[in-house]
Structure 1
Amino acid sequence: MRMRFPYIYQLMLGFLLVILTLMSITSFSIIHFGRNQVINEVEETFLNYASLIEETGFDENQLNSYNQIFGNQGIEYGIFDQEGELEYPQINQDFQSNLSEQDLKTLKAGESLLLRTKPNTLRKNNRDTVSIYVPIFTKDHRYQGFIGLGRPVSYIENNMDELKGNVLKAFLISTIFAVVVSLLLSFYLVYRVNRLSKATQKVATGDYDIYISHSNRDEIDRLSADFNKMIKALKEWRSEVLHLEERRKTFMQDVAHEMRTPLTTINGLLEGLEYNVFDEEQEMRSIKIMRKETTRLIRLVNENLDYENIQSNRIVLNKHHFPLNEAMTEITEQLTPIAIESNNEIVLNEDVKNIMVYADFDRFKQIIVNLIKNSLQFTTNGMITIDAAETKESSHIIISDNGIGMSAEQMENIWDRYYKADSSRKNTKYGESGLGLPIVKQLVELHDGDIDVKSELNKGTTFIIKFPRKKLKKVEE
């Protein structure tokens, strides 16, 4: 079983590691810089004192006066001849230079030997000292010897210890501050993450009425914004699913009713034929009725299959140019008997002549037939008019009726699957499924075309279908 390591501790550990690493590097740099500064100050001090000693002309009285001043600062000095033998002070023979032949050559060449840390450099004891050696030259640039100044290393170490103590205090204070800041930042970030977590849990239970406030400051805010978009999309999707489910239930009820009626009729007629109930004339009439009801069932099934095929992109269009008048003449001849049954008239205007359409012929006829049948379904003792026009970009077909019309709300829903604008007419022989107009829209869009509808209650409806014209490639002569 893995040990759980909460996110807040991970954040705190991350913050602390970064802050402590930066503070450690900074502290080391400060101490290193401080040590170099102390050493540079000691070097500069020693060089200045060497200059003062040289300016005395090595007068013993003045040199003796410097002994007390230098002694108060823990500085000891000596003046050596060319061979490195001590000349001053004569009273203290514990002084020694301990310089190598190479060091003496360096001094004779006019170069100073800067700060060194060695035991027993100027005095014969075990204390570590820091020392500096400055060559002495006469006015005519002859080498006379050198001046050596030294101070115990403890003087430098005392200054460094004080610096280290101050740095340590600052480090401890900064560490406490870093822990507090890390804790606050971690709590703040974890709080924001927990908001998303709780919102996700609510969504998992089906609650989509959630909004997470954000200000677009960082990635978590952007995640919150994306989460809100996702919730909005899920809410719309859920509403659409419920909407479609309600339509599906209505559709299943309608289909069950529509199928039950012709199946009951067919079953009754078959039963009569089986027992020779009908005479010859009634038998022929019964066969015609059964054929009509069978056709009705086939149409219902085909409409559903068509819609599913279009939705799943299983429809392949065979587009080509054809005369609009030719297609419209066939359609009006096919639908005129149906129009007569409801005392309607289909009028084909002269505008359809001399207009070419670029489309799949069979699917084009399906589109127009469905639209005219829709008009016939909602029109009684009226007229369905077919007009046409064309532009450089497309061919237009306009189908108008003077039927019952539609409201604005109905026009928004007519392209939805299973929707029926007038449920009181849902059982007519032209509108069983509520799939006619959705199929029309899908087929028009497959042609890269467009369909628009205008309607007014009790005045009628107009459909305008636009089929784009084929773009012909220019042939170079």
Structure 2
Amino acid sequence: MKLIYQQMLAFFTIIVLLLTLLGIFFFQLTKSLIYENAWNQLEGYAYSLKTDAMSETQTSKGKVIFSLDSEKLQNYELLLQNQEVHFTIYTSRNRVLYPQTMGFQSIISKKDWRKLKKGNIIRRKNDLSWKRGPGDFKEGDRQQQKMTDILAPCFDQQGDLVAVISVGAKVSSLEESFAKIQRSLIYMLLISAAIGVAISYLVAHYTTKRIRQLQRATRQVASGNFNIQIPNKDRDEIDDLANDFNSMTFSLKKSEKEIKRQEEQRRQFMADAAHEMRTPLTTINGLLEGLAYDAIPEESKAKSIELMRNETKRLIRLVNENLDYEKIRSGQILLKRQNFEAMHVLHNIQTQLRKKAQSAGDTLEVTGPNKLNVFADYDRFVQVIFNVTQNAIQFTQNGNIQISAEKGFESTIFRISDTGIGMTPEQLKNIWERYYKADASRKNSKYGESGLGLAIVQQLMQLHHGKVEVISHPDQGTTFTLIFPDEKLTNDKV
């Protein structure tokens, strides 16, 4: 079943249920109001009969005599008969005082009589009354009539019950009035149901129209069109869904661009890696063939072996950097952080890279306090400082490279500055990207084989919950700031 029909059925079911409940409520309320109004009217008639046509007189001996004004009673009887209202006056449960010849006689139970003696007015909704035929009381002449009536007690001055006035109307006349109102209510309910069906269709059509719009947009996204955007007015949950859909398409579009860019960099890296590997492999292969065929003079063999060792190390370094990056990116490296003395490490790195710096015409300096503790993984800390320093040497010719260290607020700060070629803002945004090289002319440089050094640095700093900041200007040099948080701050983040 389509959604529009499901929603229409749901709306229509709710409407019909509400209308049914309202109909039952109004029917019962109307019936109660009709009877309530009838009883109030009948009580008014009984009060008028009691005050106008009934009286008490006291004899000389002090005896109270209860009397009726027959003329007034007859006038009331004629008047009420036109309204199909009948009254009877009782002096006991089975004794009728008026009328004597013909009329309606209700059955009064002992329980009702006791209530009447207490002064209660009794209302009866659907009582069986007997209509007497003309002449004497004959059981066969009685006919049953359904009546709604009230029983009103009359007391003398001493508070004794002397009479009961029964005023009743035919139930059929009340039911006729109720039937008219009932028909009107049914017509109203049917009209309301028809309007409800129309409204439920419009609401369901409007909702499903917006859902179909989402469906069409989803199909376009599935076919590869990420430029689709759904207009919305932020009114309800469907508009919220449209907002989420627009955010999704924006993210997919952004991801698509990123994937294309990463793929382009991957292809570039594969070309660079193939070129980098081909050069040392060609060198090694040529030297091996020369050694195999004694084409290399004896005095040059040691130098050829040393060259092969360097080229082999270069290949190993290239492979290790790629493996290192993948392990860091996939979370396979578990850091063993501890507090250790950092200045000693910086001086060791200075010693290791001094020869490379000198070959580029650079001076490499280390400044800082005599002792400075840092909380980090020892091996990864060495790797971070080594990679950034080596990167500075790579892009600095006949300049100065300075490694400085200081204690910060709940952290240890290291700065590596150079006076090299620097970077443009566009290059600065991409230096953390895998395979990126700021200076394409140096991609075959001796120390810049893969373009993974800074990408590894960023990943390792994130694992340390640290920060890395870069300031650079073309032809003015670059400064890397590495901030390692202290043990307490790191534990709080974890």
Describe the SS at the equivalent of 1:212.
coil
Shift of 1:113: 3.1
Distance 1:466 1:79 in 2: 109
Contact kept, 8 Å, 1:403 with 1:460, in 2: the verdict is yes
Match of 1:450 among 441, 448, 467: 467
Aligned partner of 2:105 among 93, 96, 102: 96
Corresponding letter in the other structure for 2:92:
Q
- The farther-off stretch of 463-472 and 35-44 is 463-472
Return the offset for 1:352: 5.0
Once the two structures are TM-superposed, the CA of residue 179 in structure 1 deviates from its matched residue by 0.7
Cα offset for 1:259?
Answer: 0.6
2:349 to 327, 331, 336: 331
1:49 paired residue among 45, 65, 70? 45
Separation of aligned partners in 2, 1:381 and 1:38: 111
C-alpha separation in 1, matches of 2:160 and 2:326: 112
Map of 1:475 onto structure 2? none
What is the alpha-carbon distance in structure 1 between the residues aligned to residue 397 and residue 109 of structure 2? Answer: 128
Q: CA deviation at 1:358?
A: 2.9
Question: In the alignment, is residue 66 of structure 1 matched against residue 66 of structure 2?
Answer: no
- Structure-2 separation of matches of 1:263 and 1:286: 14
Provide structure 2 residue ranges, at least 5 long, that are not aligned to the other structure. Answer: 55-67, 133-141, 490-494
Tell me the residue number matched to 2:34. 38
Q: What is the Cα deviation at residue 18 of structure 1?
A: 0.8
Q: Aligned runs of 1:271-420 on 2, under 5 Å?
A: 271-349=289-367, 351-420=368-437
Q: Report SS of the residue matched to 1:96.
A: strand
- Tell me if the contact between 1:120 and 1:127 (Cα under 8 Å) persists in the aligned partners: yes
The 8 Å contact of residues 337 and 376 in structure 2, kept in 1 or not, is answered as yes
Out of 192, 208, 219, the residue aligned to residue 201 of structure 1 is 219
* Correspondence for 1:241: 259
Q: Confirm or deny that 1:168 pairs with 2:182.
A: no
**3-state SS of the aligned residue for 1:421?**
coil
1:117 alignment partner in structure 2: 126
| 2:137 matched residue in structure 1 | none
Contact in 2 for aligned 1:131/1:150 (Cα 8 Å): yes
CA positional deviation for 1:177: 0.9
**Pair 1:282–1:170, CA change in 2 (3 A):** same
**Contact 1:86-1:95 within 8 A present in 2 as well:** no
Alignment partner for residue 76 of structure 1, among 75, 83, 86?
A: 86
CA distance in 2, matches of 1:83, 1:469: 104
Residues 260-289 of structure 1, C-alpha deviation per residue, up to 9 Å, x if partnerless?
Answer: 111111111112222222222222222111
2:107, 2:128 within 8 Å by CA — same for their partners in 1?
Answer: no
* More deviation, 114-123/283-292: 114-123
What TM-score, normalized to structure 2? 0.89
Return the offset for 1:72. Answer: 1.2
Find the residue that maps to 2:332 and give its secondary structure. coil
Residues 371-393 of structure 1 deviation map (CA, whole Å, 9 limit, x = unaligned): 12211211112221222222342
Gap change, CA 1:129 and 1:321, over 3 Å in 2: closer
Q: Deviations over 1:164-198 (max 9, x none)?
A: 01101110110111011101110111112222222
Tell whether the 8 Å contact from 1:122 to 1:150 is kept in structure 2 after alignment: no
How many angstroms apart in 2 are the aligned matches of 1:390 and 1:96? Answer: 113
Partner secondary structure for residue 106 of structure 2: coil
Cα shift at 1:109: 4.5
Aligned residues of 1:352 and 1:387 also touching (Cα < 8 A): no
Aligned residue type for 1:427: N
1:430 aligns with 2:447: yes
Offset of 1:333 from its aligned partner? 1.8
Which structure 2 residues correspond to residues 210-225 of structure 1 after superposition, within 5 A?
210-225=228-243
Q: How far does residue 428 in structure 1 lie from its aligned partner after superposition?
A: 0.7
Q: 1:97 to 1:460 in 2, by over 3 A?
A: closer
Given that 2:470 and 2:479 are in contact with CA atoms closer than 8 Å, whether structure 1 keeps it comes out as yes
Letter in 2 for 1:180: A
CA contact (8 A) 1:319 1:358 kept: yes
1:135 aligns with 2:153: yes
TM-score (norm 1): 0.92
Shift in Å at residue 42 of structure 1? 1.2
Identity %: 40
Q: Is the 8 A contact 1:399 1:463 kept in 2?
A: yes
**Separation of aligned partners in 1, 2:442 and 2:3:** 62
SS in 2 for 1:295: helix
Q: Which amino acid aligns with 1:263?
A: L
* Structure 1 residue 105 displacement after superposition: 4.3
The more displaced of 78-87 and 194-203 is: 78-87
CA displacement at 1:138 relative to structure 2: 2.5
Q: Aligned-pair distance for 1:7?
A: 0.5
> 5+ unaligned residues in a row in structure 1: which ranges?
473-477
Q: Among 179, 182, 196, which residue is 1:178 paired with?
A: 196
- Superposition RMSD on alpha carbons, in Å? 2.0
Letter in 2 for 1:291: R
In structure 1, the residue matched to 2:10 is: 14
SS of 2:105's partner is coil
Letter in 2 for 1:37: L
CA distance in 1, matches of 2:299, 2:39: 135
1:102, CA displacement in angstroms?
4.1
Cα contact 2:337–2:377 (8 A) shared by 1: yes
C-alpha distance in structure 2 between counterparts of 1:463 and 1:248, whole Å: 26
Task: State the one-letter code of the partner of 2:440.
Answer: S
Rounded Cα–Cα distance in structure 2 between residues aligned with 1:279 and 1:232: 66
Alpha-carbon shift at residue 311 of structure 1 (Å): 1.0
Q: Counterpart of 1:113 in structure 2: which amino acid? A: I
How far, CA to CA, are the matches of 1:265 and 1:321 in structure 2?
A: 44
Residue 83 of structure 1 contacts residue 145 of structure 1 at CA under 8 Å; is this kept in 2?
A: no
CA distance in 2, matches of 1:447, 1:201: 43
Q: CA–CA distance in 1 between the matches of 2:280 and 2:88? A: 131
Q: How many residues align?
A: 466
